[in-house]
Structure 1
């Protein structure tokens, strides 16, 4: 079972790139973030023609998450996180696919720091942690997949000193991420590549991609029921180099999970 995560940064404007990548790599499940599309403009038919069923939680101009699957109709289990009735951002959707609970998330960026956006980010992580704790209580495999907008360690940025006051690297957010991990989650890419500088994001500015001045923001957290099934994982870095690409590249893992 191959699961991928891709912050598409505007699904309709980059649909050709998405379809090209799906055809090239054929993942079984894809978690998309930053759709930047209202629900009624989500390209469901084009994705179905490409072989993928989908569920989505859109929002005009901002945010938005979706899950694609080659396994057929998707059993949606949740959209949005509890804990803040006033939060209308489209940042979390969850489904049960081929025996695995998959949560797709787009965690708030939080910049500028300090400020209300950073405080919202911290509160959102705490809400995610509360929901993740409930998922840990279920006797089934779980993966929390997406753009976390957090660099957990110095190894996850090309220049740590540059990001001291950036919300993506602030110790307050990193400590909350660490607390989430300590519930019993495994950072899949870091487990597979413990000492490598692996990036998933390259800014559009200052030739960041050509200089490989990247950040690792997109993560797969696996619970213990799924961790033992982890086989491979990596980043389709070359996709970032395509014309009109997202500033993120697709990230993927393969699991020893048989098709139901």
Structure 2
């Protein structure tokens, strides 16, 4: 099974690129973030013609998540149970015996903002819920834009980013809390090139200069990690005209 996550930063704008990605990479499951379309505008017809079924939770202009799969997704749930939140950031479903959780985690803005404390509370709620999900689903993957660079090697210039969101100690503690539940960062299961990132700012030639962060992740339970054969970042999609500022991340898992 090939699974992927991609913050498309507007599904309306990026739909042709997504269709090309589906046709050339042929993933079995794709988790999308920042779709930025209400449910009645989701392009189900176009995706169905490409061979993918979709479950989704969206809103206009902001946020929005979706899971695309070749086979029918079941047991779909939206949001974090018990955490009141109007922002569409989480959708989960079971695909071919694997529980897939798609997340678009809050940005946090700055460590002195209300949005930062919302981010911390959101991650705490996510951890509590995932603990319950893990008890029911030994084959579980959490994919998406986490808006956290877990280590300094996931940051192009740690000194320049010191004190900023994405790299603050409290955010990294929340990421480690997810791993302590029994999840593994699939990218770090393998030797990887130095300076491997999944997001680059549109400004200041961020991509051309490789001034990026690795904030998009695929986390796997032990049962999935044991048969994971690769975990990569697809930089080619970031090279296109009018790209998302994020590149897709992919992992391949054996049967």
User: How does the TM-score come out when normalised to structure 1?
Assistant: 0.95
The two structures, once aligned, show a CA RMSD in angstroms of 1.2
Q: Report what 1:145 is aligned to.
A: 143
Deviates more, 1:223-232 or 1:144-153: 223-232
User: What are the residue-to-residue correspondences of 1:111-150 with 2, within 5 Å?
Assistant: 111-150=109-148
User: What are the residue-to-residue correspondences of 1:197-208 with 2, within 5 Å?
Assistant: 197-208=195-206
Match of 2:174 among 176, 191, 196: 176
Q: Separation in 2 of the partners of 1:202 and 1:155? A: 15
How far residue 78 of structure 1 moved from its aligned partner, in angstroms, is 1.3
Q: Report what 2:212 is aligned to.
A: 214
Match of 2:238 among 237, 240, 260: 240
Instruction: Note the residue ranges of structure 2 that are not aligned, 5 or more in a row.
Output: none
Deviations 1:159-206 (A, max 9, x none): 011212221111111011112211111000112236733211111000
Q: Separation in 2 of the partners of 1:11 and 1:139? A: 30
Q: Report what 2:251 is aligned to.
A: 253
How far residue 77 of structure 1 moved from its aligned partner, in angstroms, is 2.8
Deviations 1:53-112 (A, max 9, x none): 0000001100000000012x2214311002322x11100000000110000000000012
Q: Report what 1:84 is aligned to.
A: 83
Q: Separation in 2 of the partners of 1:74 and 1:138? A: 17
1:55 touches 1:76 (CA, 8 Å); kept in 2? no
Q: Separation in 2 of the partners of 1:182 and 1:49? A: 40
1:65 equivalenced with 2:59 (yes/no): no
Q: Report what 1:5 is aligned to.
A: 5
How far residue 139 of structure 1 moved from its aligned partner, in angstroms, is 4.7
SS in structure 1 of the partner of residue 106 of structure 2? coil
Paired residue total: 255
Q: Separation in 1 of the partners of 2:3 and 2:24? A: 14
Q: Report what 1:23 is aligned to.
A: 23
Q: Separation in 1 of the partners of 2:193 and 2:182? A: 21
1:234 touches 1:251 (CA, 8 Å); kept in 2? yes
Q: Report what 2:46 is aligned to.
A: 46
1:239 touches 1:245 (CA, 8 Å); kept in 2? yes
2:103 touches 2:143 (CA, 8 Å); kept in 1? yes
Q: Separation in 2 of the partners of 1:153 and 1:105? A: 20
